[in-house]
Amino acid sequence: MMRVVHDFGTVVDKPAIRGMSTDMIFASSQFPNYRIGAYNQMLDERNDPKLMSMKEVIARETAQLLEQHMRQSVRDLAKKFERSLAVAARLSDEARLREAASMEKHVLLKKLRDSLESLKGRVGGGNMADVQEVIRMVESLAVKLAQREGEVIQDKAEVKKLANFIKQASEDAKKLVNEERAFARAEIERAKTAVRRIEKAVLEHERSSRMPSKEELEELMKEVQEARLIKMLHRQSKVMDMEHELLALRGQLSEKTKCSLELQKQLAIIKKSERNVLLYELNGAEALGSYLEIQPLSNDAPKLSKCSIQWYRVSYEGHKKDLISGATKVTYAPEPFDVGRMLQADIASNGQQITLTTTGPIDPAPGLASYVELLVRKHDTQFNVVVTQMNGAEQPSESIHALHVGKMRMKLSKDNMTITKEFYSNSMQLCGVRGGGNAAPQALFWQSSTNASFILAFESERERNAAIMLARRFAFDCNITLVGPKDISPEATHRL
CA atoms within 13 A on the CB side of 137: 13
pLDDT tens-digit map of 404-414: 999 999 999 99
As a whole number of angstroms, the distance between CA 310 and CA 327 comes to 6
| 50-79: average pLDDT | 62
> Residue 244's Cα: distance from chain center in Å?
61
∠ at Cα 71 (69, 77), nearest 5°? 50
The pLDDT of residue 22 is above 50: no
Indicate the pTM of the whole model.
0.47
Q: Classify burial at 448, counting beta carbons within 10 Å of its beta carbon; exposed 0-12, middle 13-18, buried 19 or more.
A: buried
Q: Is 3 left (phi over 0), alpha (psi -120 to 50) or beta?
A: beta
- The answer to whether the CB of 467 falls within 8 A of the CB of 458 is yes
The pLDDT of residue 338 is above 80: yes
Strand partners, 412: 403, 420
CB atoms within 10 A of CB 258: 10
- The answer to whether the CB of 360 falls within 8 A of the CB of 264 is yes
- The answer to whether the CB of 405 falls within 8 A of the CB of 471 is yes
Return the pLDDT at 354. Answer: 86
- The answer to whether the CB of 323 falls within 8 A of the CB of 397 is no
Domains of the chain are: 2-189 (1.10.287), 271-357 (2.60.40.2700), 368-495 (2.30.29.140)
Instruction: Please provide residue 60's backbone torsions phi and psi, each rounded to the nearest 5 degrees.
Output: -65, -45
As a whole number of angstroms, the distance between CA 65 and CA 60 comes to 9
Instruction: Please provide residue 146's backbone torsions phi and psi, each rounded to the nearest 5 degrees.
Output: -65, -40
The pLDDT of residue 144 is above 90: no
Q: Which of 60-64, 292-296, 319-323, 424-428 has the lowest mean pLDDT?
A: 60-64
CA–CA distance from 418 to each of 181, 415, 458 (Å)?
44, 8, 19
| 30-34: average pLDDT | 48
Q: Which residue has the higher pLDDT, 13 or 394?
A: 394
CB atoms within 10 A of CB 266: 13
Q: At what angle do helices 126-233 and 236-272 cross, to 10 degrees?
A: 90
| 323-333: average pLDDT | 90
| 117-137: average pLDDT | 69
